[in-house]
Every structure is written in C-alpha cells, then in structure tokens.
Structure 1
C-alpha cells in the first residue's frame, strides 16, 4: 500500500469521525435538527479536500470553519432584520431575502477568493432561516439561535477530527517549494542571458509566476496551523515580492539582450551557465555573481541584471530564515520593512453583477414556484438553489459545479432511499449500528472526494439532508421522496438559470485588466518618495494570474501585460528630475489613465486613451527640455511606443 493510499484512507477516517461526531454530539445536546451539524462537518471537511484533490493541509479546515461561523452569524442577523421589517408582507419578505442573497454573491465575487466563502454563506443562511420560519415568524430568533448552535457543533467536530488524525503540516512543503523557486529563478535568468526561444521563456516565467503565487497562498494555511510561524509568514510575504521582482528583472534582461547583448559581461554569463542542482549550488553561484558585479563599472552591466543579483541575495536571506524560523536580524528587518505592498482592486465588477443577478433570479424563481404551487418541499428546493448559486459563482466554472451538484442529488435519491427504507429502520434501536452503517458510506465518499469524482460531494450533502436524522425517526416514504425530488428540481432550476443568464464579462474583464496595467505603469511616473516606496508587483501579478485564467491560450495578452509590468518597474526606478511642473504633469497623466480604466462607454474610453497618448508625447518633450538622462527617457519612450502599437488591444 503506497503513501498516497494511506493519506486518502486517513482523510476518509477524519471525515467519518467529523460527521459522526457532529451527529452524535447533536443527539446528545438534543438539537432540533442534528443533521445540520453533520452537514456542516461534511462541507467544512470535504470541501477543501475536493479543491485540493487530496487531504488538505493543517489549517485549511479551521480556516473554512471560521469563515462558516462568520457567514452564519451575518446571515442570521440579516434574516432577523428582514423578518422584523417585512413580517406582515411574506411575498415582499422573500423578495428582499432573494435580493440579500444576490448582494452577498456579488460581494463574495468582489472580495479575495480565500474570504469569499463567508459572504456567499451569509446570503443563503438568511434565505434558509426566512424560508423555514415563514410559517411562524415569531420563532425566527429561536430558529436562528438553533441554526448557529448546530453550525458551531459541526465545525467543532470537524476541527477536533482534524487535530486527532495527525494533520499534514504545510511547513515541509513550503521548505521544498522555496528551494525549487530559487532553482527555477536561476533557470529563468539563464534562459534570458542565452536568448532562449520565446516559447521556452514563456513556459519558464509562467511556471515561476504560478510557483510564487502558490507559495504566497501557503502562508494562510501556515498561520492557521500555529502562531509560532509568525516570523516565517513575514519572510514568505517578502519572498513573494522579491520573487516577482526577480521574474520582472529576468524578463527585462531578455528584452535588453536582443538589442544590446554587450551589457551582459562574459564573466557573469559563464557563471550563470554553470549547472546548479540544489540550493547550496545557487548560494555559491550568487556569491560569485556578487563578486563579479562589484568589480565592474555599473554602466557596463544591464541594470535589471544588476538588480536581479541583489534581489537574489535578499531572497536567499529570506529562505534561510524560512527554513530555520530564527529571530529576525537587523539586515532582514530592513528587507521586510522596505516597501509598502499595494493591494489589488477587483476588476470583476461586471462579472460580480452577473453572479448576483443569477443568484437573485434563481432563488426568486424558486420562491415564486413555492408560493404559486404551495409545494410542501418548496422550501428545500429554494435552499438548494441558493446554496448552489452562492457557492458556485467563485469557482472557475460555475456551470460545472451546478452539474456536479445535480448529479450528486440525483444519485442521492436511490442511495438515500436504500438507507431510509432499509438500513435505518434496522438500526433504530442501536446508535452503534447507525454510526456503523453511515460510517461505511462516509468512508467511501471520503476516498472518492479526494479523487474529484463527479457528484460525490453533492451525493454526501444530499443524502445527509434528505435522511432527516432525528431521534426518534419517523419513516414517511411520501415525505422522503417529496424532499428528494425537491432537491433535484432545485439543482435543475439553478443549472437552467446559470445556462440562460450567460456571463459575457470575460472580454470586458480582460480589457479592464490590461488598462489597469497601463494605469500602473503610468503611476510609476512620480517624484514623491512615498509613492516610490509602494510595491505594486503583487497586485500586478495577481491581475496577470487573472488573465491566465480568463485567456489560457492567448499568449499575446500575457506578453503585453508582462511588458507593462516591466515598464512599471523601470519607471519606478528611474531618477525623474524633481520640479513642480513635471510633478503636476505626473498627476495629470495618472488622472487620465484612471479615466481610461473607469470609462464604461467605448467612445469615452477611446477619447481618454487618445488624450493619454497626447500627454505622454508632451511629457517626452518636457523630459528633453529638462535634460533628463537616458535612463529616464528610454523607458518612457518604450512605454509610449507600447501604448501606440497596441491601441486596439487596450480599447476593444
């Protein structure tokens, strides 16, 4: 039995323990609906495993659990406020609740991905409370308290199971990842100085961008694992920025080599071409490169290559501290506090609006169907619609997630029927037999969910929901089939709405992202010291990752975006002449670039873009008048040419 199989079995045991523990504890506390505790444990534990394609790292389940608690409390407060305001108008109350669910979905699309779960949950939690307490609104506060209690019980069970079954620490994976990151950085600079093929360069920098982003994402899991990793967290954050800077410097070196190859000294080229197999070899080569760079005039070496050597030395210093988790030295502290990282703004406003509209329309259709037909399982249908549309929107393919839930809910009908009509009646007198029968089923699901089987997560949630586990149980087959059918119909409605309301915001988001790159490049034109300390690279590469997701096969967009990132870094380092006239002109250019990004109409956007080109041309003339050095005029000229040559890409 290999290690991967053992890991999968361990997580399956963890999932089984979490769900059964939540169920038994719910029975012990005599909760009204203990199945909500079991369902919470299932979603909190199985969700990260489905995303990761295996056992999630320590901290992932706790992070998801905390977000679920936050989202539940926000949703409960919103539900009580809606009921208190619109209790005398039930139809209007449901409509407002659907609007709240749509707003929360919009909100979850705008915020960072790792926090979106809480806001999506806040939307459908309010809808659950309003719908299920609509027959007796007086009991809504009590229902909200019970809902929160059940959620907390399920989350505690999931976290306890995560602690019992030896959670997998992410620290060793981080140590391996940062070592490989430096090896990949050395390979990229080697390709740059040797003028490799464009396809090979594209592959190398794309891999590095993804690796840097993945390492930065690991910080959250590491901090959820233990507070003793605070120093490692600070170093990882700094390493992320340094790594992105090294990628930019290596790519700019590649561009400079095409016109002035003499700016790469032969001694540096020889050292870069020597093989490196591990981090120790990288340290040795970097020491040799620093010695060579210190002995030659700075005007005989390309500035980005010179900067790359310095950045590589700082990265090695951070990696050493990451491995040892030692105290932060004064040298490290200077690196850690050197720049202010600028957070990226969302470019998915139109996409977020579509997501909110989808959630509102689908849940409103479910409410109308319920009010019109008086269907006893209409409430369950509405809940499933809200759950799917709220959680699916932040995934890369919402329609596929809806299909996954639909397949799972359809499969839950025969499997749930087997449990409800055959297995559970036999185990009514024994809690042990009940846990044994459910445990075998959950264990198998725990194995399959790590393989990302279609419909597995929906099957688990659907079965727990329609079994209506209580003590004692009543076996009403008609009611069971009605609930199971309601779940399936809710999935179908959600899928139909997702298919009919199509998201055509991809091109709009892509254009906004490219215009943001232009705005960032122009924003580097400043003489203000505090603005020069701002580090835009993490935000720029975050937007570059969004382009990679939106246009996986459009390499032209990536190259254009990368050239704008390079232009931003070069202009940021340029020693622009300090005077009032240029400072005022910088402010005017930045304002025009911002209007290009914010303009919604095509004609207005083209007007401001042409105005930006005109102002950039005038700015070039002013630099000549003030005798600016070539290190300033050359990157400005390259940016102007870029804006002229790619007008169509930025405007259409």
Structure 2
C-alpha cells in the first residue's frame, strides 16, 4: 500500500518542508500572495531530483514568457474584452500546440507560457495599470516555490534519476528475455501479450526518465551517452522478437525446424533462462555456420528457417549489447569493456513522431474552452469570472496530451471541489486559532503530508495534485488572518466551474479518443512504408524506421482501444525493415531478378500511398520476385530473405508459394 512505502513518505515530507520554506520566504519578502509559492511547490515537486530540477528550470522559463505576454496584451487590449479574450485564447492554444509537438521536458515550458498568461492576465483586467507589478509579483511567488522545491530535493536525501533508469532497464531486459523465450516455444498466451505491450510502452517511460539525467550534477550526466546508445537497441529487439514468433509459427505449420536449427533454438533458450547472462558468442558462430549453407535448392520451409536463424543471431547480438550497456549504467562506468556488436546507426535513429493534426485539435479545444468561459464571464458580469477563466486554461492544458482528457479533467474538478471544502475548514475553523508560523506549519502538516503521499503514487496522482494545489490556493494564506465567506465561496465556485467548463468543452470538441489516435498512427505508418518501398529513394532509412518505432511506442498505451492496432503496427514495422533491406540489396542483383523486385516494390508503393488494403496482385508480384531471385553463393541472399520477411509481414495467412530454384532466371 502506498501509505507505507518509505520512498513515498520521503517525498511527502520533503515536499511539505519545501512548501513551508517557500511560504516562509514569501512572508519574509512580503509578497502579495504567498500562497502561490506553496501551491507552486506541490505542482513542481517530483520524486526524483533530476525531474524536479527539470520541471523547475522549464517552469521558470515558461513563467517568464507567460508573464511577458500578459504584460504585452492586457494594457493594449483591455478596452476590447473580446479582443483580449481572443488574444489570450490564441496565445494559450499556440503554446499548447508547441508543447504537444515537443515531447521532451522542454515542452513543459511552452505549456506554462500559455496558461501563465491566463493566470496573470485575467485577474488584471480590473486594474490594467497594475499589470506589470502584478506580473512581477506572480513571477516572484512562483520562482520562490520553484527554488524551494529544487533546493529541498537536492539537499535532503536526494533521489537520483540514474538508479531509477538502471532499474527500469534491468526489468526491461528481463521481460525481453521472457518474451523471446515464449516466442521460441510458440507461446502466445495473454501473459505473453502483456509482456509484449510492456516492452513497447516501457521504452518510452525509460526515455522520459533519461531525459532528466542532464539536470543532475555529477556522474548521472555521464549516463546520457550510454542511454542514447541503449535505447535504439532496446527498440530493435521488438520487431526481431516479433519476426522470431512469426517464423516459429510458420515452421510449426510446415513440419517444424530441422534438428540442427532446433538444437540452436534450445541453446538460446538455455541462455535466456540462465540466472546469469552469458555471452552468445559461441552460439552466433554456430548460427553463422548454419546460415552459410547454400540456398541453391532451398524450399519455402528452409527459407523461413534461414530467416529465423538470422533473426536469432541479431537478437543474440542485441541482447549482449543491452546487457553490456545495462551493466555500465548500473556501475556508472565511463566506458564499455568491449565494443558493441549490432550496427544500429545505419538502421535506426531516435526521432519523434509529430502528430500536427492531433496537436492542432487539442490547442483549438483549449482556445475554444477559454473563449466560452470568458463569454459566460462577460455576459453574466460575474465578479469572479477571472478565476474561472484562469482555471479553464490550466485544466484544459494539463491533460491535453492524453488521448481522451475529459475523464482526467472531470476527476481533477471533482477533487478540486473537495480541496475547496478542505480549505474552508482551515480558513474558518483552524486559521483563526493560529498565531505563529510554527503553529501554522503544525496545523497544515496532516493534510499536506497526505496530499504528498497521494501525489507520489501514480494511481492517486490525480487526487493528490488538485488537493495540494487548490487547497493551498483557496486558503489564500496571508501574513495576517482575513476571511470573507462570500468571497471564499465565490472564488472556490469559480475555480470548479472553470474546470467543469474545460471538461465539457473537451468532451464536445475532442470526441476522437484513443481508437482515432491509433488509426492515425497506422495510417502514418502506411505513408512511411510507401516511402520505404520507393526504389528511387535515397537515404532517410534510419529516419523512416525511427518514426515507425516511435509510433509503436505511442500506440502501446492505447492498444486496448483497438485490439488489431498493435499487431498491425508491429507487422508494418517489420515490413519497413524488409522493404529497406530489399531496396538496398537490389543493386547487387542481375537484370532479371532486379526487374521482378522493382515491379513488386513499385506495386507495393502505389498501394501503400492509396492507403487501401493490399490486393492479390501485390502477393502475385512478391511471389514472382521470389521465384526470380537466384541465391548463388549468397549474392542474392539479402534480397531473398527481405522478400521472405516481407511476404510474411504483409500476407501472413497466404499459403506457401511454389518456389523452384532450378537455374538463372531468364
């Protein structure tokens, strides 16, 4: 249970201490709204020191940018309420759009720049002449909170990102071995599928954690180079395991592997299940000897078996590389003891997919929500409408990256209402009895320690965050006690109404959901496959595959919405590699085989470009290309195996082709 986890208690205590430090400094500096410093601590603090520093840096940058935008907009547009509304709405939407396209920690600065303008700008409409002093005060209060969170995270039992990354990598490798062993034995149970999804999703989690390494001093920054070499190899393991599973399944339907191949499979299985990892060097030597056999009279079964052996050799190299890099991460080693085996750079680059359409929809939804809330504020002449508009911008921004943000925003609004009630208890029953900062800290401790525990646990994060953030804001702590029940209720109601409007607008305008997003990833991959099949293409192979890999990682968390999406994406990924392999190998072919291969690739390119299901003509073209390829002392082996893999990816249920390698093609 999260309440008894030592690391959760440590985070909660540190966050509370940082909050009290921020509050004390804000009181000492005589800032107008010291409670903003306390609220900032609870939104900026993270369990890991590097993540806290990262969030602090980009939150500071976003705050400065947002404050500057508010100072520029409010005095010039305050006499035109609709123009000011549109300006802030469009600015917030633009910032959110840029944030969603940049999935690194840097994207947080863009989002902050957007809703900070709303936080500062909307409350200033009644006193536009004071906008600069108001923006300066809000910035100072937020910076005090940021600095306090970063300071406490660094000096009191700091938790480094490095060990967290190393631990995640070790678990990932363990899951990869289990998944590969399942594939070797044709295991397709629900457990195996859950392992598969975890492998795909965890690569994104590890990359996200590793992005914070650069914000920690000392040895953890040296780990970045190791992680950057490790991540592409981890990703490459996924389609290789999928190809092994496919080959083993096809061989089973054709009578099973040969005794020699079965022995090699058994040896790899023994390595995978061994308590300690042993190098696969000897196994690879034996696999290479088996692969070197002539393909002059190879049958379809033998081609599938050869494809399997090539995949096993690649996986052996990849897993050896992953183990070596994981050991270096765990030991914080500056360099590896031996060179890496698998040549990854020419096959895959780490590049992020940018879904501009989805980002535009999310940003337009945010802008629309702000406009709707402001129109209600203006038409109703609502005194606390600024608080509602401010919280609409915050709530619609915080969860915009989710495929369906509505449930999260609604939950945030529900627990914000609870936080307002908690703040009311403090304001009217507890604070009147407080006469010193020490007693204030003691009074706040039970609630805010609980909020910290809830924030520390991912499953309860959406409960703890609004409780900590809104309770601190709604209490409106000042150096001297002052309470107005009517103002408190109006302000609390406005915040909850603003979040509710954000949820309603999101539900209306973002009706797409995870299934729509999954379909967009699959369609984008078809465009990439058309590019991979283009025989006139030059370069860009690593970029194409990097984008397809990234879409696979993004698809894994939403695969529940479309049960066929993950298999389709994995087959597309394998098809992409096979298309590029075939395109590279075509120049070594004779004129006859090259014409057949080019005809097959051009037909596939046209069908991928149209986004339609593959036709029987494409299968016939692949079969003709397979028939035309003559394996003479390995000259055509790469192209032949690429076509074998491509046929299995694109037509997994088609019966085996009739292949006769009787001599050179005419």
| Structure 1 SS opposite 2:448 | helix
Deviations along 1:609-643, one digit per CA (max 9) or x if unpaired, are 88x99899879878988979364256447647865
Aligned to 2:29: 29
Q: Name the stretch that deviates more: 386-395 or 154-163.
A: 386-395
The question of whether the paired residues in 1 share the 8 Å contact of 2:123 and 2:386 is answered with yes
Q: 1:276 to 1:595 in 2, by over 3 A?
A: closer
Deviations 1:120-167 (A, max 9, x none): 222211122221221232322332222222221110001112123312
The alpha-carbon distance between structure 1 residues 447 and 229, as it changes in their structure 2 partners (threshold 3 A), is closer
Would the aligned equivalents of 1:406 and 1:455 in 2 still touch at CA under 8 Å? no
Give the structure 1 partner of residue 440 of structure 2: 434
Q: Which residue, out of 348, 354, 374, partners 1:346? A: 354
Alpha-carbon separation, structure 2, partners of 1:617 and 1:74 = 59
CA distance in 1, matches of 2:9, 2:641: 60
Aligned counterparts, 1:117-128, within 5 A = 117-128=108-119
Whole-angstrom CA distance in 1 between matches of 2:127 and 2:380: 19
Q: After the TM superposition, which of the residue ranges 170-179 and 482-491 deviates more from structure 2? A: 170-179
Q: Helix, strand or coil for the counterpart of 1:345?
A: coil
1:60 and 2:62 aligned: no
CA shift, 1:186, in A, is: 3.0
**Alignment partner of 1:131 is 2:138:** no
Unaligned runs of at least 5 residues, structure 1: 49-55, 597-604, 647-652
The secondary structure found in structure 1 opposite 2:585 is coil
- C-alpha contact 1:171 1:222 (8 A) present in aligned 2: yes
Cα offset, 1:644, TM superposition:
7.5
Q: CA deviation at 1:436?
A: 2.2
Distance 2:540 2:419 in 1: 58
Q: Equivalent residue for 1:391?
A: 398
- Secondary structure of the structure 1 residue equivalent to 2:211: helix
SS in 1 for 2:587: coil
Q: 1:547 to 1:327 in 2, by over 3 A?
A: closer
Work out whether residues 578 and 646 of structure 2, in 8 Å CA contact, stay in contact via their aligned partners in 1: no
- Partner residue, 1:44: 44
Residue equivalent to 1:51 = none
**How high is the TM-score relative to the length of structure 1?**
0.84
Give the corresponding residue for 2:475.
467
Partner of 1:283: 278
After superposition, the C-alpha distances for 1:529-561 in whole angstroms (9 at most, x for unaligned) are 973762655532331233333331644321222
1:163 aligns to 2:172 (yes or no): no
Aligned to 1:233: 224
Q: Deviations over 1:326-369 (max 9, x none)?
A: 3335964897983461413223x443333223322222122122
Does 1:190 pair with 2:199? Answer: no
Q: 1:553 to 1:320 in 2, by over 3 A?
A: same
Q: Determine the structure 2 residue equivalent to 1:376.
A: 383
CA RMSD of aligned residues (A): 3.7
Match of 1:571 among 571, 579, 584: 579
Moved more, 568-577 or 259-268: 259-268
Please give the residue correspondences for 1:502-521 in structure 2 after superposition, counting only pairs within 5 Å.
502-504=510-512, 506-521=514-529
Against the structure 1 CA distance between its residues 237 and 173, is the aligned structure 2 distance closer, same or farther, given a 3 Å change threshold? same
Q: Quote the Cα distance in structure 2 between the aligned partners of 1:594 and 1:129.
A: 49
Length-normalised TM-score, structure 2: 0.82
Tell me the SS of whatever aligns to 1:168: coil
Q: 2:299 aligns to what?
A: none
- Superposition pairs for residues 354-373 of structure 1, below 5 Å? 354-373=361-380
Question: Does 92-101 or 291-300 show the bigger shift?
Answer: 291-300
Q: Deviations over 1:307-328 (max 9, x none)?
A: 2222223223323322333333
Decide whether the 8 Å contact of 2:58 with 2:108 is kept in 1.
Answer: yes
**Cross-structure match for 1:96:** 87
Given candidates 413, 417, 431, the residue that maps to 1:406 is 413
Displacement of 1:380 in angstroms is: 1.1
Mapped partners of 2:481, 2:92: distance in 1: 33
Given candidates 422, 427, 433, the residue that maps to 1:420 is 427
Residue 307 and residue 218 in structure 1: after superposition, are their counterparts in 2 closer, same or farther (change >3 A)? same
The 3 A distance-change label for structure 1 pair 181 and 511 is: closer
Matched-pair contact (CA < 8 Å) for 2:75–2:131:
no
1:488 and 2:493 aligned: no
Q: Structure 1 residues 518, 492: closer, same or farther in 2, change over 3 A?
A: closer
